[in-house]
Each structure stands twice: as structure tokens, then as C-alpha cells.
Chains A and B, each alone.
Chain A
Amino acid sequence: LSHLRASVGTLYLSATHSIFVEDNPETRKETWVLHSMVNSVEMPSNSPAGSQLILRCKDFRVLQILIPQERDCLDIHASLVRLSRPGVFKYSELYCLSFNPNVNKEEREESWSFIDLMSDYRRMGVPNNLWVMTAANSEYRVCDTYPSELFVPKSAAPTIITGSSRFRSRGRFPVLSYFHQDTLAAVCRCSQPLSGFSGRCQEDEMMLQAVMRSNPGSDFIYVVDTRPKLNAMANRAAGKGYENEDHYTNIKLQFIGIENIHVMRSSQQKIIDVGEMRSPSMTDFLWGLENSGWLKHIKAILDAGVFIARAVADEGISVLVHCSDGWDRTTQACSVASLLLDPYYRTIRGLMVLIEKDWISFGHKFSHRYAHLDGDPKEVSPVMDQFLECVWQLSEQFPCAFEFNERFLLTIHTHVYSCQYGTFLGNSQRERKELRLPERTHSVWSQLWKDRVDFRNPLFKADLSQSQRVLRPNTTPYCFKMWKGLYSHIDKSMPPCQSPADFLSAMREESQQLEEEIAALTGRPIVWEKTEVLKRRTTHLQQRHLGPDPPTSYIQPITGHGQAVALKQANQMALNKEPNLYLPTECHSKLKDHDPDDCSTCSDRESGVADLRSRSSSGGDYAKDPDWE
């Protein structure tokens, strides 16, 4: 099945999944692959044993299937190609419309109101006497890719807004993205001006003045053009471009140099290839990493965020961010900056709000970028992947600053592609409304919130984020690493040898229980004596720590298509609760009958790993160095 471990079984195709059931009668391990997660189906030339199919998934897993009969293989290939790519305008074929977790209507509606953007704006202190809500875009009259509710400077009259929007690409005029209460400076976003070589627009200039004036402490604003300067200049030839500092008074223009979606797409392909290398040498690996340029791009995005955050928090200067259309790089830069500025966005719920606000509501083109439908391949680009990776890089640098863990980011990544929920569907708020998604699909956020225990970072220090409100990351190149959790096959195919995070989570939970017990015992608060304590562990805790880790590579949590199925799946969910596909299955059977006091279970798991590992690393190849006598 996979390139690391082969097994024999039966392949089933359903309307939504490919299901592979192993023949091994003891386990009958099942592997489910959602059709919408399939990126490509390849059929390499036939081998004597039969025909091959290679499934490449959007979460970068690769499955190889060997089918004895060539005719069957062709059939399956044709079906999979069709099923994994709904037609251009056929949202109706997407999985989220048939996906029906067992919840009633009220719950579904509630799930859509789980994230409330207006309350987030209130949280950051708007509307206030500087920023107000404008009705200009209700019914999406001014800009069809913006949300209907927008905040603009108080002094910006409707005529200025419409005037400015006519001078901006796709009508995306400057609006508020984040308001920093401590300094009253704001992060605003828009698209490039249609200036060409000499064009100017009075209303747009007034709009920028209004943005500046809405920050009482400052006498200029930064305009951050996230593109490389060369690209911005090239755009002038097409009647677009960037703000001319002679026309706009009191602005400072800054180019950041994030590359465009096409560069990013090919760069990601290269880093995926690096992750798929079978047994590269260290040199091959580092060369591949360098050649892909991927970390360079991640660094550029983070640098943009750092620049904005520094301007807002340290200098108290408002920033206007744009790129070309203002929905890819701008979104990345704004959301990274918000994450650095506001500890709220570093919590589980906060990150959901941030994505809902900067990405979903401001018209990041999810359906185009993540190929939900069979569309223009040139529109596809890993913009969101990069944002999630920026968050991951930050969480590696500040292990105590984030409430969520890597698993949360990986799960979001999966759902951006999976089309299982309606949250990430469509290209703008307007499109989502027209598709009536809230009535026909479910929202992912409330589901993730339900599972939040799995996503918690045990090291998170809430009090730290109070004292250290603004994160000031180091962006020297040596701070960046390849995100193994997403790109490395080795990591996906093997269970983490030992996960201190899971252990700590269990311990933290345990501590809370103990605390309750103590409270029950004594009925009074506890004062700890300063005594040296002997090391001891409960078997209870040990067991938990030894249990199979919840899925890190996530495909399964599919909660059935109806009740009957849901029941059947409950069994198999238990089976699938593991980093799937490649794990030696013996570990389950062992876990079941293991004695609570037997501390060797942990080791059993390890030795399972060992088998694989040493084979891939050092093992078995003594013959390589022939005796040369």
C-alpha cells in the first residue's frame, strides 16, 4: 500500500471515499481516503505483478496501490480521477454537501455562529471615535470580494470610500484589519492602486490621510507593499502599481519582497519532493531544502509580519498593507502581524477568529487556491499552508506562547483542502451566501472546539502572554526549520517515538484532578511545603502516556453518513486512532491486554519503531562494503 509497508487487502470505492481493508484477519485495518483529499492519481507503467496506482494526497501523503487486473485498474483510475475533481462549477458534488454528522438543525446553525467577528472587533475596541463601521459595502456594492461589514476611519465619507475603491484593484479600498489599543495604531489592508505611471486619485489620497489622522499620535503612515519592488514596478505598465510618494503626503513606502503565488506553488512542490526522498544523504537533503527556496519564502512572510508589528507596537505608526489584489500576501502579512501583536490570537479560539476574519471574510480565494473544484491550475497556491507554517515556526521559537499545538495547525491544514466542512468553501463572503453554505453544510470551528483537548499545548503559559503581549521573533535564517510534521514522510509513517507533549498534557490533566481531590479532602486551599519529593509515578498516568497517540496525520475523523454507518465507524475509529497507514498494528493488540503495572509497553512500541528504523538507517546492508581482499 504505502511505500514503507506493504499489505494485501481489498479496495472499495464509495461515493466519497476510497477504502482499503487489509486482509489480515486479526486487524482488518482500514484506511480511508477522502476523494477530495486526492491531489492526483497516477498510473505508471505496468509491472508483472499487476497495474499500479499512485495516489498523491493534498496533505502530502502518498499511497501506492497494486492491482492485479489491468482492466480493474483502469476503471478505478477513471473513477478516482472523476471523483477527486468535481467539475468547474459543480459545488454540489463536494463532500461537505453530503457530509452529515449526526447533529440536528439547531446545532448546525449554532456551529455557524460559533465565531462572531463583530465581537472580535468590539474586543479590540472598535467602533470608537476613530474607527466606525461603514454601510458602503452592504449588498457588496462597492467591492464584491470584501465582507459586507467593514471598518473605516471616522473621517472617511462615503464619497471618499467609493472614489478610493474605484482607484484600487478589484475595488478593494483601505479598511481596518487590526486595531492596536495600546498605541491606537492600526493595521489596514487594501489592494494596489491603479496608478500606472502617473495616475492619481484625490479620494484615495484623502483616504490615506484619513487613515493617518485616525491615529492621533502619528504624523505619517507606512504603506507596506509586500511584493518585490521589481514586480510592483512591472505592474505600473499594466496601469496598476504602487503609491507615488510625491502624490501622497506623509507616507513611507516599504517593499517586503514576498514572491507571487506561482513562485510559491513551484517552491512547495520542491519541498514536497525533499520530504519524499527515500534515503538522501545529509548533503542531498540540505541542498534540496536550499534549492526549494521554501524557508526563504516563509522568512519573507514572517519578516513582513514583524515589520508591521514593530511599526504598530513600538513606533505607534499605522500601517497600510497591500500586494496586487490584496487577498494573498496581504492576508498573510496582516494575520501574522496580528498574531504577533495580540496574545488572543495565540489561543485556540483566537486563531479561529483570526482565520475567519483575515482569511475567510476578506475574500481569500479558498476554492481557487486549494483546488476544491477542477479549475485553473495556475490559481492554485499554498498561501494558507505558508501562514500555518509561519505560526508553527513561531510556536517552535516560543514554546510557551501558544495555547494550541502542531496537531491543531495540521488539522486546519487538512480541512482547508478536505471540503468536509463548508467553512473554507468559496472565494468570498458573497459567494458563500449565494451558495447558502450555512444552510447546507457544517462549520469546522465548532467541531474543532469540541476536540480542543487534543489541540492543547501543555506548555502554554497564559500569564506569560499577559506580560509579553507582543512577540518579537528572531528571523535570522538559523531559526527556521523544515516543518517535518507536514512535509516529512518519515515522520508521518512512524508514530512519534515518544511524545513529551502528550505526556505533559496527561500530567496537567492529572494535576487538575488531584487538585480537585485535595480540595475535596481538605476543604481548604493548599499551601505547599518546601520539601524534596521522591520520584513516583502512578500507573494510571503511565498508562495514559503509553496509549496510542491521537492522530497527527489526520484523515479519519469522519463521523459517518447516517446513523447506521456512524455506529459501524465507531469501531473503526478506535482502530484508526493512530497516525495512520503505516503503524505496525501489533501495538494495539498489545495495548489491549497489557497489565497496568507492566511498564514495558512503552518499550514494545519503541521496538516496533526500532524494526522500521534500523532497517531504513543502518541495518542489513553489511554487504554494501564488500571485502576487498
Chain B
Amino acid sequence: MELSEHIKTANVEDAVLRQPLHPAARGTLCVTGHHLLFSDREESSPQHFLLLLRNIDAIEKRMSGSSGTITIKCKDLCVLQLDIPGMEQCLNIARSIETLSCLENVSEMYPFFYRPSDQSLKDQWGLSSTEKHYSQMTDLHDRWRVSSVNRDYSVCPTYPQAVIVPKDINDEMLVKAAKFRHGGRFPVLCYYHRKNGMVIMRSSQPLTGANRKRCREDELLLQAVIDGSDKGYIIDTRSSQQAQQARMTGGGFESKSCYSCWKRLHRQVERGKALQESLIKLVEACGNDSHNMDRWLSKLENSKWLSHVQTALSTAGLLAECVERDGHSVLVHCSEGTDSTLLISTVAQLIMDPCCRTLEGFLALLEREWVQAGHPFQKRCAHSAYSHARLQQESPVFLLLLDCVWQLLHQFPLALGFSEALLLRLATEAYASSYGTFLCNSDKERSVAILSMKTLCLFQALLRPKERRCYANPLYERTELAIWPSVHPQSLQLWRGYFLRWTQQARHLEEAQEEIRNMVILWEKMFEYVCFNFFMLS
């Protein structure tokens, strides 16, 4: 079925668009396969407003007489209103939006059609790969190797083709270890700490089950990780009760008797449905303009979002502390190993590793730890906070990561090479994008859809000089040491730039950012000028 068949009414004259922070505009509304296009009638300077249909989370229609109003709630938390004359037209448009905003088939999505004139499909796709990552870390080479045991995605469907594993463990052992781990996600290296040679590994839960199964190969693999040092830590991002319960359904945890050199720590990091509900509550609280302070604070508390931020940051802090300060290797996992596992390991890397704090470094980190490591973006970001649809696998884990990174940026304004604007952009793109980067759920799915040939890469696009200007942090100054975030409740703040993005308040903060950028640029120009003249004179 062609997309155009979903469009009964393509054009509406004399519609009215109301968006936050703008006066209402009257003009022509146009529905295409992937966009809503609105052009206002202002003759002197016609304004166009383009909205990706994929960005629409929920719509509400209200009929009054011969016209109707559609309220559009977007995944980036923007709320728009369209007044459309003609009941039938209004219903047609609403129906088109409803169908076209949640297409299931990947190859019908907009990234496959997006062809801007200044970018080409031949441009490089992606920033990082396992091989590249490995080759950059030469210290690693005598004890670790790149294994392509997963080259046809048969060992683990959610891992990339190449992974880094201990040298002593051969591919056959990996296959066996994979069978012992949920979804085949056997322990692989994700971070090597140059200062002391310790590593972060990640995996999914072991399938010990109710009768305490063991797997020799898995034990050997972990033994090989800490080879030479006395012990390692396993950070399980579930509570110990949850881990116990998981045994009933075939999952489990590493028992002390079988993994004698590993010490297990439990920290419950929320994910899945609970996190999604938390986001919904928070957005609901932020959308409430009531002037009752008590109600706001209790709703903020009730949403638990900030508590989730706090737990995530402190668990990542714990992980970083094990590696950086205590000098031990760490294995981190939850159940599937595709959500809170990635969240914790990513934040910990930002805390410890200055290379991850540059603009390129951060994007490469996201590519390795989220895109390639198999965070199911398409499932997790299918809907955001407004949707009335029944929750399936939606969960704002990636958004929680961005919030944690924002907290770091807030506490260390000079230590990160990228700005809040980048985090906002990523938060938007993860839910609805013209680029292929966040499509699909795993490397395997992406290679089936041949994304790298048929769509453009967001990360590459963000690094173009023009874009760089607004995504780089003008105050950035590299520091080699760890940035330990404070996780005291008073130090954590609501991410106003995101959750209150469409209010006047966010505008003032943006102005301030712009002012900072201008000051830095002016200063640099003067500095250049003086140096240049000094050079000429001497």
C-alpha cells in the first residue's frame, strides 16, 4: 500500500496553526507521506512550518459546528493546535496523521527518502566500529582480541559483528558462553582504562535458572578478564530480590561459589515500564500551569524521575569508583543487558575518560554503546509521554542517559566538549529523525535494511562545521581527571531545557548560552588579532 493512499485530503486552505511562543498563524496546511507542512499567508515574509509525522505522539480532535480542532502532541513535548475548516477535511487529516505517524515498516520511513542537497549517501556512515576502537587502544592488544564469532549474527542477534574479548578465550568457548547468557549477550569489553589497565565488561544475566546451572566457559571468560589481579566487581543493576526472582524464569546471577573472584553489588536502576510511567507523570506535571506550589513539588516527587536520575548517576559513580579508584575490573549487567547496563557503562565512561567528553568522542561513544551495542531504539522510542496507545516496549532509557549527561554538564560546565543543544537535538532525533542512525533495534536489523547505503548518518551530519558551531561547548577545556558528579538531591536539577523546552523560560536560558558563545568568539578573535599583529611587529 502506497503512503499516498492514506491521504484523503492533502491540502487545506485557511487553517490556523497555534504553536507555543508564536502568535497564531493562518495559512495552508498540506499533508504528505511523512510531513505536515504549514505555510502562512504573510505575504512579505511567508513562514513555513514543517513537522515530521513520526514526531507526533498523540492527537486529539474536537469538532464544533462545521470546523474542527486537532491538538497535536509531539514526541519532543511540543503541543500544537490546528483549526481546520470543514468537518470532513478535519477528520481526513486526523486519520492520515494517525496512520502515517506510526508506520511499522522501516523501509517506508522518512530517512529512506531524505536527500538534502548538501549531503550524499556516499558520505561516510558512522564514526566508530569495534575494529577502530580496538586499534586505537594499543595497550589492550596483548591480552585482548577482536572476535568475529558473531559475523552472521548467529551467536548474538543484538551484538555487532565484531566484539572485543580476552585473548585466551577462543570462539568456540564464546559460543558456549553465549548460550548461557540471556539473548546470547556474553561478556564483552566496552571500556579500557588506560591509567591502570582495568576494564568495563558488559553482558546480560546468566541463565542459571532455578537449579543453579553453571557454564564452565562463562566462568573461564570472566576469569580471563581479571587475570593477574585479585578480584573484580559485578554490578547488577537489579535489586537482589529482583535477581533472585529472575531465577524462576530461567535467568539469574553469578553465584559466589562459581565466580569466586568476583564480588557482586546490586543497585536497582529502574527501566522498562516503570521508567516510561515516570516520564509520563513528569511531563504531565510540567504541562500543568496551575499556580499551586505544593502540587507542583508533590507531582515532581511523585513522578520519581529525579530519583531515577540520582540512582543512575550514583550507580555509574560506583562503577567508575571501582575502576578508577579501587583499580578493579567490572562487569555490569541487568537482565537483557540492553538498557540500564548501557546507561551505567556510558555515564561511567564519561566520568572517567576525557576522550569521551569531546564532541566526536561523545558521539562515537553513543554509537558504540547504544547503536551498535543493540539498544532497541525503535521499540523504546516508539512513543513518548503523550501517547494513549497501550505501552509495549517503550521506555525512555536513552532520555534518562541524556538527562544524566546534562547533570554532568550542569555540574562541570567546562569539562564537556558539547553543549546542551546537542543533548536536546539527540533527544529529538531518537524519537523522530530524518537520519537513519536511530532506526531499527540492532546491528543485524540495520544491516538487513541496508541503512548505511540508503539513509544518512546523523552523527556525521552533526560534525559538519556549520552544525558544530551550535553543538560545541564554547567553554570547553579538556581535563584529564575524572569528573565525579555530586548525587546529593540538592545538586540535581530538573532538566528545564528539555522538559520546559516550549516555555518562555527556556528562551531566556538559550539567550544566555548565545551570549556566552558570542563572548568567547569575540575574545578569540581579539586574541588572534593581537597575536597576528604581534607576530608582524616582531
Contacts and interface: CB of A to CB of B under 8 A. Distances in A.
A45 interface: no
Interface string B495-538: 01000100111001101100110011111111111100100010
Given A282-B492, A538-B527, A627-B264, A398 B519 contact: no
Interface stretch (B39-47, B73-81, B153-161, B479-487): B479-487
Contacts of A279: 488
Interface in B268-310: 285-286, 289-298, 300-301, 304, 306-307, 310
Nearest to A295: B293
Contacts of A480: 293
A399 B265 contact: no
Contact of B488 (A504, A514, A599, A616): A616
Interface string B467-490: 000000001011111111111111
B452 interface: no
B527 A399 contact: no
Nearest to B319: A618
B526 A618 contact: no
A79 interface: no
Please report whether the interface of chain A is mostly helix, strand, loop or mixed according to DSSP. Answer: helix
A617 B240 contact: no
A478 B500 contact: yes
Contacts of A296: 293-294
A537 B478 CA distance: 12
A159 to B, nearest CB: 44
A275 B488 CA distance: 11
B505 A397 contact: yes
A399 B293 contact: no
Nearest to A499: B413
Contacts of A299: 291, 293
B530 A399 contact: no
A488 B412 contact: no
B84 to A, nearest CB: 30
A286 B477 contact: no
B301 A518 contact: no
Nearest to A458: B519
A498 B293 contact: no
Please report whether the interface of chain B is mostly helix, strand, loop or mixed according to DSSP. Answer: helix
B405 to A, nearest CB: 16
B464 interface: no
Nearest to A604: B481
Contacts of A538: 527
Contacts of B512: 399-400, 459
Contacts of B477: 537, 542, 545, 599, 602
Nearest to A507: B523
A503 B297 contact: no
A473 to B, nearest CB: 9
A285 B490 contact: yes
Contacts of A609: 484
B315 interface: yes
B530 A521 contact: yes
Interface string A269-313: 000000100011111111101100101100100010000000000
A303 B293 CA distance: 12
Given A285-B489, A536-B527, A622-B263, A617 B314 contact: yes
Contact of A504 (B300, B315, B519, B521): B519
Contacts of B482: 606-607, 610
B415 interface: yes
A491 B489 CA distance: 12
Interface string A592-629: 00000001101110110110011011110010010111
B37 interface: no
Contacts of A600: 479-481
A476 B314 contact: no
B490 A484 contact: yes
A452 B484 CA distance: 33
B527 A522 contact: no
B503 A474 contact: yes
A553 B198 CA distance: 40
Interface residues of B, number: 85
A8 interface: no
A322 to B, nearest CB: 23
A625 B294 contact: no
Contacts, number: 223
A281 to B, nearest CB: 7
A78 interface: no
A474 B504 contact: yes
A510 interface: yes
B265 A526 contact: no
Given A283-B301, A293-B294, A606-B479, A478 B325 contact: no
Given A400-B511, A609-B484, A628-B240, A498 B519 contact: no
B521 A481 contact: no
Contacts of A603: 479-481
B291 A475 contact: yes
A395 B527 CA distance: 30
Contacts of A488: 490
B315 A618 contact: yes
B306 A282 contact: yes
A399 B509 CA distance: 7
Interface string A502-531: 011001101100110110011000101000
B525 A286 contact: no
Interface string B172-214: 0000000000000000000000000000000000000000000
Contacts of B301: 282-283, 286-287, 290
Contacts of B509: 399
Contacts of B286: 478
B256 interface: yes
Contacts of B240: 625, 628
A49 interface: no
A491 B411 CA distance: 11
Interface string A194-206: 0000000000000
A618 B294 contact: no
A503 B414 contact: yes
A476 B289 contact: yes
B490 A514 contact: no
Contacts of B255: 629
A511 B293 contact: no
Nearest to A490: B488
B310 to A, nearest CB: 5
A511 B486 contact: no
A283 B308 CA distance: 11
A491 B490 CA distance: 9
A533 B321 contact: no
Given A290-B297, A482-B490, A625-B240, A606 B481 contact: yes
Interface string A202-245: 00000000000000000000000000000000000000000000
A510 B263 contact: no
A474 B505 contact: yes
B318 interface: yes
A602 B294 contact: no
Nearest to A546: B477
Given A281-B307, A504-B516, A504-B519, A398 B524 contact: no
B491 interface: yes
Interface in A575-600: 599-600
B35 interface: no
Most chain A C-beta atoms within 10 Å of own C-beta, residue among B307, B412, B520, B523: B523
A474 to B, nearest CB: 6
Given A477-B292, A498-B415, A538-B527, A275 B490 contact: yes
15 contacts: A290-B297, A479-B505, A490-B491, A510-B523, A511-B526, A514-B530, A518-B526, A522-B533, A537-B477, A600-B481, A609-B484, A613-B484, A614-B325, A617-B314, A622-B233
- Rank and list the top 7 A-B pairs by shortest CB-CB distance, nearest first: A477-B296, A285-B489, A399-B512, A286-B301, A603-B481, A290-B297, A618-B317
Given A476-B291, A600-B481, A617-B314, 9 more contacts: A280-B489, A282-B306, A295-B293, A400-B511, A478-B296, A484-B491, A498-B415, A537-B477, A618-B317
